[in-house]
Structure 1
Amino acid sequence: MGKSVATMAAASLVLAALAGCSSKSNDSGGSSPGASGTGNASPSATAPASDSGSGSAKLDPVTLKIVLPGDRPADMDAVIKEAEKRMADTINVKLDVVFVPWSDLAQKTQVMLASGEDVDLIFDAPWLHIQQMISAGYFEPLEDLLAKYGQDAVKVRSQQMFDANKFQGKIYALPMGNTHLAGRTYLVRKDLREKYGLPPIRTYDELIQFAYKVKENEKDVIPLLAYGQGSSTDVSWGAFRAFMEYDPQILRSDALGQSLVLYYKNNDGKVYNLFDEMEPRVWSWIQDARKLYTDGLIHPDILALKDIDSVIQSGKVAVAVHNEFGVPSSMAAAIAANAPGAELEPVTFVKMEKGANITNFQQANFLAIPKVSKHKERAMMFLNWTAQKDNYDLLAYGIEGKNFEKIGDDQYKQLDANYPPFGYAWVWNPTLDRLNAGFDEETIAHYKFNKDASNLTPSVLTGFSFDPTPVMNEITLYNTTADKYYNALFDGVVDPDSTWAKFKKEAEGNAKKIQIELQRQIDEFLANK
């Protein structure tokens, strides 16, 4: 998750553990499913201008504790040192940046918040547990703080971005994203495809044909790799296909993170339940994953793997899922070093046709200020500081000349692997985001296409925010059950028929209660729209 997400960009823990990113990072700056826009905005129609925290008066020093997902980059300390140097004469902030592994993210951050641990900024997401944390009262509403100290943080995000990413009618966390529709890609070993004389892959069937070819000829290479840990449900092998298949276009619901058990389709405002009636297309994904697993194509230990990136970068994987468009340059460099001659290429089946993709313009990643923070104003000043171009570049891409090189105003070249781009985790916005100058033309075209909101079909639920409070217990119980069965089903590890029967028996009662409450709130939203 994610990194959409991402690296588990993608990988994620849905309501219990991560991206997408799912989701994690990519070379555009970041993440998992989501949305964003361009242009200037204000979080509310009457947000007044005020002190942004960047004036001449030097403030007393304050240390902000910031909790982010993933692994600490090798050059993180150098980046923090430079950032603190730049802030010394204005907002005077020191940074205590704590990283939590993707596989532990949901559980550890929930414990931090529930225990009242002293935290000033924390990553959260709809595919993680942001709705539950808001309902529990752990996050500070941001309208007043944005109005007083966050004018620049507002300007780099569109009004649409704020309007579509409120929770229970308020801005409880700063939305982060660089496009209206998150990318989804299969990372494919281009050198092996060419070795077998296969043309560029254009369909899912061709992708699987390539995987079988690898199985036949490359004994030391795993043909297919997805995610199986925790709640990385969106990047399990079968469920990942929902992002790239149409007719019907199946979208995750607002109640169960990335789980497809409750879902939307055909933009009709209805909540569908797989336990009531199995969607034939979804069942075909589960059956396909089972065949691929039993045929030895999907990694045999998929449910036990935690660090998916390292497996991909070893050069011993032919196809892997990725929660963004394009090949991250850090991953391309690592795989070339670990497996000389190996080269990755992106393959996506996301349509680049006007109106083909439905979106609610909701972002996948957010940064929140916990209620317990003793430095809320300074935290917002810091977020405002990150909305300056040079400061954004520093935190998103690292030290200029060492970690990255600027290419014009909107692209960059990564120079080493010591600070992989991860703006998605704490500074991401569509105005300052840079694209990897090494991206292929098709990847760049996808990004540009999905930055234009007019190319997408708005969901009838755009602006809707689900309040999980009435069914919080049922969601917790559902997630506990799903942890036992969901990824195992969609990664093909278990028999579909018997496992689905067990899953349904244990989870359908809770899923039904959640569905009824979600539909009630949707009906109320649509009636008042």
Structure 2
Amino acid sequence: MKKTLLLMLVLLLSVGTVLAACGNNKTESSKGGDGEKPYEIKWYTIGTPQKDTNKVFEEVNKYTKEKINATVKLTQIDWGDFEQKMQVIISSGEPFDIGFTNGGTYVQDAQKGAYLPLDDLLDEHGKELKETLDPALLEGARVDGELYGIPSNKEAARQSVYTFNKRLVDEYDFDISTVKTLEDLEPMLKTIKENESNITPVATFKAYLPFDYIFEGDMPFGFALEGDRDHVVNPFESDIAMETFKTMHKYFKAGYLKSDAATSKDSWPMDVENWFVRMGDSQPYADLLWSRSAKYEVVSVPAEEPTTFNTSVTGAIQAISSTSQNPEKAMEFLNLLNTDPYLRNLVDKGIEGVHYEKNDDGKITDLPARIEDYNMPTYSLGNHFILDLYEDDPSDKWDKFKEFNESAQPSPTLGFHFNSDPVRTEIASISNVSKEFYPALSTGSVDPEEYLPKFNQKLKDAGIDKVLDEIQTQFDTWKAEQK
């Protein structure tokens, strides 16, 4: 009996030793050891699939396996298909770890449980990442008080600008510093129309109205940026909407826009030099970036002051799916991606010596393979402030980004996200009305004195007042909670 008990004791001690060893191996493997199979992170993001993605991610995976014992399977979904395909993936319950998202889609998917709340994960597995993020980005990305995604650390503010083809500005000696409003463009547009038969004076854009919109696009719910910032209104009932649409109609009749501007599905890529002026959202030194991409020079002037909107802070977010099999590892990867300059530049720029070369001063120059085989959308991938600068980038570029963010005023609804469930039926009807009228009005294709009243009446018939009341109620509740 004594021999049997002794044997059992020896066996138990041996098993304990083995288990302890296994536990030690597991701990080591989480830091890159070989005792546990690396976890494969499934990552969906936006952009045209690139030829060299697999080549680059072979290098990525060597690094991430060593650092966090994980590999990454990146799948890009092309621009026009991304939103629809991601909704199918989310609705089907397909397991994945990280997904790119933005704007209203991010809010709606977070509210319906597609993404995990991240505050605890960020505190435990993303401490370094949290320290790098602009607080305005974190605040704007909260939905009902919870953080559901990691914003790209970049410009947190938005500033709309008029962007011009610099060759034409120089050729006709235009002083674009005088352009403060849409009306100020008229003499220049007339000159281009009379002298440049192959140039469309205005690259089709939607007329700018100074409101903080509840929904992206053409929906009629907004808070004024100046004056009364506490009450939601229909921007299309404002005097400035009528005046702006009248100016656009004047330009349309003069032939400054394409005749099919309201219905054309063609985009206006910058790499085709067939336009004089366009409108878009800017950032510090954006003209250098756009000129590099277009392969000819552009120059811009502001159309508004910098403002931090929900849409500007949620314009590029990486969310962790509620179907993730290992959200801790996903957060470890996001932490590494956003704080490790080597990994961030590898994912963004590709392989040194293959896709770009580094100069003696530490700045970089693209090689042909970067443009042709691995041209990734920088804005969508994470922290900008640890990216290498290009040879023609000013050395203070990232300092200027931080100054730009600090100079911006917060929009009236920064941090407020509307829950549309109580008025979903009305919103669907209003969306149909907006799609019917807004493109034609905003491109000047129709007379606003005739069509704008019809538009607003149809919005009332569709239930806009009920939606405005619901937005105001939720906003007032949210505002009270901020005090």
Given that 1:252 and 1:264 are in contact with CA atoms closer than 8 Å, whether structure 2 keeps it comes out as yes
* 2:229 counterpart of 1:252: no
For residue 213 of structure 1, what is the aligned residue in structure 2?
191
CA distance in 2, matches of 1:215, 1:443: 36
Give SS of 2:347's match: helix
Counterparts of 1:434 and 1:285, CA distance in 2? 41
Map 1:122-161 to 2 at 5 A. 122-126=99-103, 128-161=104-137
Paired position in structure 2 for 1:187: 163
Does the residue aligned with 1:313 lie in a helix, a strand or coil? coil
Check conservation: 2:161, 2:280, Cα contact below 8 A. yes
Any idea what the Cα deviations from partners look like across 1:253-290, whole Å, max 9, x if unmatched? 33x22446211123632111236xx1111222222222
**How many residue pairs get matched?**
443
Partner letter of residue 230 of structure 2? G
Residue in structure 2 matched with residue 519 of structure 1 by the alignment: 472
Instruction: Please tell me the residue identity of whatever aligns with 2:333.
Output: F
The answer for unaligned runs of 5 or more in structure 1 is 1-50, 227-235, 243-249, 337-341
CA-CA distance at 1:349 after TM superposition = 3.4
TM-score normalised by the chain length of structure 2: 0.80
Cα shift at 1:238? 0.6
| Local SS of the residue matching 1:198 | coil
Contact 2:245 2:444 in 1 (8 A): yes
Return the letter of the residue paired with 2:401.
Answer: Y
Of residues 323, 329, 335, the one that matches 2:281 is: 323
- 1:500 matched to 2:460? The reply is no
Q: Deviations over 1:294-345 (max 9, x none)?
A: 22212334445556353x3121122222322345657535644xxxxx5322
1:365 to 309, 313, 316: 316
Q: 1:443 to 1:175 in 2, by over 3 A?
A: closer
Q: Deviations over 1:137-164 (max 9, x none)?
A: 2221112322332223222213443233
Structure-1 separation of matches of 2:342 and 2:366: 16
TM-score, length basis structure 1: 0.73
> Deviations for 1:447-487, whole angstroms, at most 9, x for unmatched residues?
35313x2x333445443333233233333333333233323
> Which structure has more RCO (C-alpha within 8 Å, separation ≥ 6)?
1
Deviation at 1:166, TM superposition (A): 0.6
Q: Return the offset for 1:131.
A: 2.1
Shift in Å at residue 359 of structure 1? 5.3
Return the offset for 1:206.
4.7
Distance change >3 Å, CA 409–CA 461, structure 1 → 2: farther
**Contiguous gaps of at least 5 residues in structure 2:** 1-26
Q: 2:252 aligns with which of 293, 307, 310?
A: 293
**What secondary structure sits across from 1:179 in the alignment?**
coil
Correspondence for 2:9: none
Residue 72 of structure 1, aligned match among 46, 49, 54: 49
Q: Give the structure 1 partner of residue 18 of structure 2.
A: none
Q: Does 1:60 align with 2:37?
A: yes
Q: 1:469 to 1:284 in 2, by over 3 A?
A: same
The structure in which a higher percent of residues are helix is: 2
Shift of 1:168: 0.6
From the superposition, tell whether residues 492 and 405 of structure 1 become closer, same or farther in structure 2 (CA, over 3 Å). Answer: farther
Whichever residue aligns with residue 76 of structure 2, its letter is: V
Matched, 1:270 2:231: yes
Q: Secondary structure at the match of 1:269?
A: coil
The answer to whether the 8 Å contact 2:97/2:321 transfers is yes
Which residue, out of 207, 221, 229, partners 1:238?
207
391 and 343 in structure 1: CA distance in 2 versus 1, 3 angstrom threshold: same
The yes-or-no answer on 1:314 pairing with 2:265 is no
* Residue pair 1:224, 1:319 contacting (<8 A) in 2 also: yes
Residue equivalent to 1:399: 351
For the structure 1 residues 376 and 305, does the alpha-carbon distance in structure 2 shift closer, same or farther, using more than 3 Å as the test? farther
Q: Which amino acid aligns with 1:134?
A: A
Aligned partner of 2:291 among 314, 332, 346: 332
Provide the secondary structure at the position in 2 that maps to 1:291.
helix
Structure 2 partner of 1:100: 78
Query: What is the Cα deviation at residue 221 of structure 1?
Result: 1.3
Cα separation, partners in 2 of 1:273 and 1:206, compared to 1, 3 Å? closer
Q: Which moved more, 1:504-513 or 1:279-288?
A: 504-513
Distance 1:458 1:182 in 2: 10
Match of 2:417 in 1: 465
Are residues 285 and 76 of structure 1, via their aligned partners in 2, closer, same or farther at CA, if it must alter by over 3 Å? Answer: farther
The letter of the residue matching 1:122 is G
CA gap of 1:74–1:346, structure 2 versus 1, over 3 A, is farther
Query: Equivalences for 1:161-200 in 2 at 5 Å?
Result: 161-200=137-176
Report the equivalent of 1:386.
337
Residues of 1 paired with 2:351 and 2:321: CA distance?
29
Q: Are 1:201 and 1:207, in contact at CA under 8 Å, matched by a contact in 2?
A: no
Identical positions, percent: 22
Change (3 A) 1:491 1:516: same
Q: Quick check: 1:185–1:346 contact (8 Å CA) kept in 2? A: yes
Whether the aligned pair in 2 keeps the contact of 1:330 and 1:420 (CA below 8 Å) is: no
Q: What is the SS of the residue equivalent to 1:323?
A: strand
Root-mean-square deviation (Å): 3.4
Change (3 A) 1:185 1:440: farther
Report the equivalent of 2:201.
223
Q: In the superposition, relative to structure 1, how do residues 514 and 457 fare at CA in structure 2: closer, same or farther (>3 Å)?
A: same
